[in-house]
């Protein structure tokens, strides 16, 4: 009886849960562990999540301290055949992916399905550069880390332990930012022109606006 009730409750819960389209999260200046735990919960609930700018994520503790911890992690391997793992990823996107994998019970079918809903990237590749990006306030460094504490960027750590594409990602990000700024200035100019035109035609449009307002627009 108890199992039947639990199954019914889970079915109702899943049918009423509202899932959005894939959420794109900008990882810049988020704390690594806090962001990972929140994303893991969302993945297990069935939400698709895309993490961009993983190299801009931060880890508490100085760069030297985190390099030492990573060196200890790299020393862990199978004694008789290191090719069998564990595998030590160097790129920031894969480091983040591996952290979240450890939070979703990845050896179960549910965990495998959850990690399949996650995508991680360095920089902001197409088409995510044209999509609305979100932040997680509960994981922001300025909110969670005490002022004065040491921290380091994941991209700097990855670069120091063998990631070879930091300069390439920085170059591509500079291009993307320049393109984004040009688009924003063009959009702002178009909005100003529209506002000016509406102001000039305000007298002519008064009756039309009244009719539209009465109709609920």
pLDDT band at 17; cut points 50, 70, 90: low
- Helix pair 202-214, 166-200: axis angle to 10 deg: 100
How high is the pLDDT of residue 1?
A: 47
Taking residues 74-94, report their average pLDDT: 94
Residue 85: partners with Cβ closer than 8 Å, 6 or more residues away:
77, 78
Q: What is the pLDDT of residues 176-207, one digit of tens each?
A: 999 999 999 999 999 999 999 888 887 888 88
3-state secondary structure the chain: CHHHHHHHHHHHHHHHCCCCCCEEEECCCEEHHHHHHHHHHHHHCCCCEEEECHHHCEEECCHHHHHHHHHHHHCCCCCCCHHHCCCCCCCHHHHHHHHHHCCCCCCCHHHHHHHCCEEECCCCCCCHHHCCCECCHHHEHHHHCCCCCCEEEHHHHHHHCCCCCHHHHHHHHHHHHHHHHHHHHHHHHHHHHHHHHHHHCHHHHHHHHHHHHHCCC
The overall average pLDDT reported for the chain is 90
What is the pTM assigned to this prediction? 0.81
pLDDT band at 113; cut points 50, 70, 90: very high
């Amino acid at each position: 009886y108890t199992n039947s009730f639990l199954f019914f409750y889970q079915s109702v819960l899943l049918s009423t849960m509202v899932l959005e389209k894939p959420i794109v999260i900008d990882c810049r200046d988020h704390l690594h562990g806090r962001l990972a735990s929140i994303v893991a919960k969302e993945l297990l609930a069935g939400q698709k999540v895309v993490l961009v700018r993983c190299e801009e994520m931060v880890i508490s503790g100085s760069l030297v301290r985190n390099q030492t911890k990573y060196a200890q992690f790299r020393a862990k391997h199978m004694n008789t055949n290191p090719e069998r793992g564990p595998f030590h990823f160097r790129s920031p996107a894969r480091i983040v992916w591996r952290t979240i994998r450890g939070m979703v019970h990845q050896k179960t079918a549910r965990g495998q399905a959850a990690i399949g809903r996650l995508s991680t990237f360095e920089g902001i590749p197409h088409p995510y550069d044209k999509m609305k990006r979100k932040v997680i306030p509960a994981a922001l460094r300025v909110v969670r880390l005490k002022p004065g504490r040491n921290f380091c960027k994941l991209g700097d750590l990855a670069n120091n332990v063998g990631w070879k594409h930091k300069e390439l990602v920085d170059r591509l990000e500079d291009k993307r930012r320049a393109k984004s700024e040009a688009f924003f200035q063009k959009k702002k100019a178009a909005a100003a022109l529209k506002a000016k035109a509406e102001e000039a035609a305000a007298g002519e449009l008064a009756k039309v606006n009244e009719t539209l307002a009465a109709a609920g627009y």
